[in-house]
Structures are given as structure tokens and as C-alpha cells.
């Protein structure tokens, strides 16, 4: 099956997994935030696309067919793989790292900011902190600074 035909089926496969895990269309529909008839239509569409019957349906229960059982195993792996991919991408982007260049006045550097920066670096060990301690007013672009702390006579 080519990718263009496969892509629309992926959500149907995920819904199929939810139906089996929940035990019926109503519970699956509630979990997915859709109607039971929408879930039923998607399962029927999946069965039609695959050319097999996945479920034996009665008014009281669902049972997997032999083909449905095999298909469920693969669909479950697909859903789990998708969850792993999302989790991996989230953990990769939630890690804070890199170089942070901060300019601070001499009067604040040791007494006030040193304990704050020490705690910050404990919390974010992947950050490399470069402090530029100076009483000069710097230009962030020209002086290559990401963050400036400046003291003046009037509050902003």
C-alpha cells in the first residue's frame, strides 16, 4: 500500500487500538471525544481498506477476529512507537543547554548575583554561563551579550 493510501488509515488504526483497549465503542468514543457512531464508521472504513473483518460485533460485546488480533498487535506497536517519538522529541526540546552571556555591574556580581547564578547552574547544568563584569553600558549586539543587567537612578 502506498503512503498516500496509508496515511488516512493511521488515525483509524489508532482508534481501533482505543476501541479494543476500552472494550467497546461507547467508552472509546468518550475517551476520544467523538460519538460512538463516528468510531463505528472509522472501524468500518479501516476494515474496508484492509479488506478484512477486524471485529465480531454483537449488541453486548466485541471480539477480535483472528485477523483482527494480528492487526491489533501491529496497530498497538504503531501507537506505542508514535508515543515514543513524541516523548523523545519533547525530552530533546525540553532540555535547556547552550551558552548564556550575561553582563552585570561590579556592585552586583559577587554579593547578589553569584548565589543566584550558582543555583541556576545547578538547576540547568547544560548551560555554560559567561559573565562579563563591567560598569560600562554595553551594546548587546556589538559586545556579544545575551542578557544585560544595568543599574541607573530612575526605575523603568
Write the pLDDT tens digit of every residue in 6-43.
Answer: 888 899 999 999 999 999 999 999 999 999 999 999 99
Q: Domain 95-148, what fold?
A: D-Maltodextrin-Binding Protein; domain 2 (3.40.190)
pLDDT score at 29: 93
Specify the residue for cell string 515514543: 84
At residue 93, the pLDDT reads 60
Residues of the chain with pLDDT under 50: none
Thinking of the domain 3-93, which architecture would CATH place it in?
Answer: Orthogonal Bundle (1.10)
Query: Model's pTM, two decimal places?
Result: 0.58
Per-domain boundaries in the chain: 3-93, 95-148
Amino acid at each position: 500500500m502506498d503512503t498516500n493510501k496509508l496515511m488516512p488509515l493511521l488515525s483509524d488504526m489508532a482508534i481501533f487500538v482505543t476501541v479494543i483497549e476500552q472494550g467497546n465503542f461507547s467508552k472509546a468514543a468518550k475517551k476520544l471525544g467523538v460519538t460512538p457512531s463516528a468510531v463505528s464508521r472509522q472501524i468500518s472504513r479501516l476494515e474496508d481498506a484492509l479488506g478484512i473483518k477486524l471485529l465480531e460485533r454483537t449488541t453486548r460485546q466485541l471480539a477480535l477476529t483472528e485477523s483482527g488480533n494480528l492487526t491489533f498487535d501491529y496497530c498497538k506497536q504503531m501507537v506505542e512507537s508514535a508515543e515514543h517519538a513524541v516523548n523523545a522529541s519533547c525530552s530533546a526540546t525540553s532540555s535547556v543547554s547552550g551558552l548564556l552571556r550575561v553582563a552585570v555591574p561590579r556592585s552586583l556580581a559577587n554579593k547578589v548575583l553569584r548565589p543566584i547564578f550558582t543555583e541556576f547552574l545547578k538547576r540547568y547544568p547544560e548551560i555554560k554561563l559567561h559573565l562579563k563584569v563591567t560598569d560600562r553600558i554595553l551594546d548587546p549586539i556589538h559586545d556579544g551579550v545575551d542578557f544585560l543587567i544595568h543599574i541607573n537612578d530612575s526605575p523603568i
